[in-house]
């Protein structure tokens, strides 16, 4: 959606090294914003974004308007069931219908062989993979590890909403998830205990609203009661005007492997 940062640049670099011709789509998609969300204020530094793409060696930058993406009479909604029910799907109704609809349209317009998505948006990554598999599109969805700033905060276009104190507070989200994941590797497998550990640290960092902290199956996103298979610990937290998401892998304790 533009406002490109180091995470996007890493996707660009991966695409350039992994294929012969790279296309970057930039589109602030109104269909994935809910009522009261930041569609109007979402950053749109178009010239800066185009320059970032040029420096990264992108072959084409596709920047359609909303009218071009959704012309008069557009009626189709693309929905992936199941994977979109929990996590951000539960707290942002309709969000993933907007994501899958725009991704389907972009894929049909561009016709890629490979498409790179970051693990920071882990639920989105799995949803897009399911979309491609279900519709039998000959597209490989390539995951890229979350890119983090030196302080641990996951790169995000919305980080620009954070001032100094709120940024330091935001860094505790990753620290809390990582601490809980380390506790799991040490043998604590009870999901409720791990979630409580992470929630407590996030809350102690400062005033915020926690949309969720959840331990889920790494493939199905099913909520888990214990770490008995590869999992992800995911969180969405609102700090001031900024809604931040992050996640970390959680491995089965070595003693149980």
Torsion sign across C-alpha atoms 14, 59, 78, 99? positive
Beta bridge partners, 238, equal: 209, 243
| Exposure letters 53-64 (e unless 16+ CB within 10 A, then b) | beebebeebebe
Residue 112 CA to residue 32 CA, distance in Å, equals 22
8 an active-site residue? yes
φ, ψ for residue 3 (rounded to 5)?
50, 55
For residue 127, the Cα-to-chain-centroid distance in whole angstroms is 11
- DSSP structure string for 154-169: BP-GGGGG--HHHHHH
Tokens of 246: 């992050």
| Residues marked as catalytic | 8
């Amino acid at each position: 959606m533009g406002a490109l940062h180091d995470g996007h640049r890493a996707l660009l670099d991966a695409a350039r090294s992994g294929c012969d011709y790279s296309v970057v789509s930039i589109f602030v998609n109104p269909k994935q914003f809910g009522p009261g969300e930041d569609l109007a204020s979402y950053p749109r530094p178009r010239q800066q974004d185009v320059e970032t793409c040029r420096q990264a060696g992108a072959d084409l930058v596709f920047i359609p308007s909303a009218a071009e993406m959704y012309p008069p009479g557009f009626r189709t909604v693309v929905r992936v069931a199941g994977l979109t029910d929990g996590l951000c799907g539960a707290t942002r109704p309709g969000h993933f219908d907007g994501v899958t609809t725009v991704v389907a349209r972009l894929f049909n317009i561009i016709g890629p062989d490979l498409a790179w998505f970051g693990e920071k948006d882990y639920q989105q990554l799995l949803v897009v993979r399911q979309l491609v598999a279900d519709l039998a599109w000959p597209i490989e969805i390539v995951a890229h590890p979350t890119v983090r700033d030196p302080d641990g905060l996951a790169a995000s276009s919305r980080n620009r909403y954070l001032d100094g104190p709120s940024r330091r507070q935001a860094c505790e989200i990753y620290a809390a998830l990582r601490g809980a994941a380390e506790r799991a590797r040490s043998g604590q497998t009870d999901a409720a205990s791990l979630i409580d550990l992470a929630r407590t640290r996030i809350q102690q960092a400062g005033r915020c609203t926690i949309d969720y902290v959840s331990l889920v199956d790494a493939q199905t996103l099913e909520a888990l009661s214990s770490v008995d298979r590869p999992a992800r610990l995911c969180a969405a937290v609102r700090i001031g005007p900024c809604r931040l998401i992050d996640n970390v892998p959680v491995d089965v304790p070595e003693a149980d492997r």
